[in-house]
Amino acid sequence: MKSIVFDNYGPPEVLRYIDAEKPVPEDGEVLVKVHASSVNFNNLTFVIGKPYFARFWTGLTKPKVRTPGNDIAGTVESAGGNVTMFKPGDEVYGDIFSCGYGAYSEYVSVPESMIAFKPKNISFEEAATVPEAAKVALQALRDGGKIEAGMNVLIYGAAGGIGTFAVQIAKSYGAEVTGVCGTRNMDMVRSIGADHVIDYTTEDFTKNGRSYDLIVATAGYRSIFDYKRALSPHGIYVATGGSMKGPNSMKQIFQPMLLGPWISRKGGKKLSAWSAKLSREDLDVLGKLIEAGKVKPVIDRTYLLSRTADAFRYYAEGHANGKIVIRMEHELSGVNAG
C-alpha cells in the first residue's frame, strides 16, 4: 500500500510518499480501505513540531508516529476477532487521533470504537471532512456554548473547516447566526445559512453595537478582551482554533486557557478554550444532521495522497474555504485533483 511518512520535524517537504506494509487487524479492530482523509490544524503542527510543547506527546526530538492524518472515510475490508458492529463492505468514517494518527495511508487498522457508519447521502471525500472539524464545532456549540434556539451566535472564522460546520450546526439548533470571514468568502458563508455576514477586513464586530449570547472563535486572532466586550451580559465565548502563522498564532487558544477562568469569575460572562473529545455517538449525531440535509460539508480543494505536502503548504497559508481533502491513489479513476 501507499503511505505518507516523515522521520524528522520540519516543513511539508519532510513528507515522503512510500510503499508500506498493509496492516493486519487485531482483536477488536477493523481494517479500513481508506478512500479519503482531510487536513486539520493538528496534522500540520504534528509534522512541523510546533508549538514545541506538543512534542511532549508526539516525541521530543523525533516523531513517535511516522504517518500523520486522523480523519478517515472508507470501506471495511476485514475485521479482527470480537468485532461486533462492522462487517466487510460497510462504509465508515472516523477520527483516529487517539490511536496514533496514520490516516494518510491507503489502509488503516483501527479499534471499531473509533469509527461510525458513513452518512449515505455524501461521498467519501465529503465524509472525510467531518470527523474532527464537525465534531469540534458540535461540541463547542452544544457542550461549551450551551446553545439553545433563539440565541444570537457569532462564528469567527466562519469560512474555515470548523467554521463552516459551526454555522450550519448552530442554524440546526434554531440560532440566529452571524458569520465573520474575509471578503471573498462572504457569499459562501451566506449560502450555508448564516443570517448575517461580517467582512472582518472592513468591519469590526466588537464595535458595531451588537452583542452575542455565544461566540465561537475557530480561526484568526482577536484579543480575549475584544470577545468579552462583544458578549451579552451572560454570554459565552469558546475558542477552538487560532491563526496559522505570525506572532499571535497561538494566542487565541492560550488566552482563554490562561485568562478565561480568571475573567469568568468577575461576572456573568464565561470564556474558555475547547478541546474536542472522542465520541462515536457524536459522529452518529452528525451523520443524522447530514442525512437530514441540515449540514453539508464544504470542500475547498482535493489533493492526491502523493501530493500531501502541497496540501499542507496550501493549508498553512490560512485561506482555505472549507476543508482540504486528501484522496487516496487507488481512487484515481476519474479524479481531477489539485
At residue 249, the pLDDT reads 64
CATH architecture, range 133-273: 3-Layer(aba) Sandwich (3.40)
- Is the CATH number of domain 2-131+279-331 3.90.180.10? yes
Contact predicate 320/188, CB 8 Å? no
Q: What percent of the chain has pLDDT over 90?
A: 78
Tell me what percent of the chain is helix, strand and coil, each rounded to the nearest 5. 35, 25, 40
What Rg do the C-alpha atoms of the chain give, in angstroms? 20
Answer whether 2-131+279-331 and 133-273 agree in fold.
no
Global model pTM greater than 0.85: yes
Contacts for 292 with CB less than 8 Å, ≥ 6 apart: none
Please write the tens of the pLDDT for every residue from 82-109.
999 999 999 999 999 988 899 999 999 9
User: Looking up cell 457569532, which residue turns up?
Assistant: 154
Residue ranges per structural domain of the chain: 2-131+279-331, 133-273
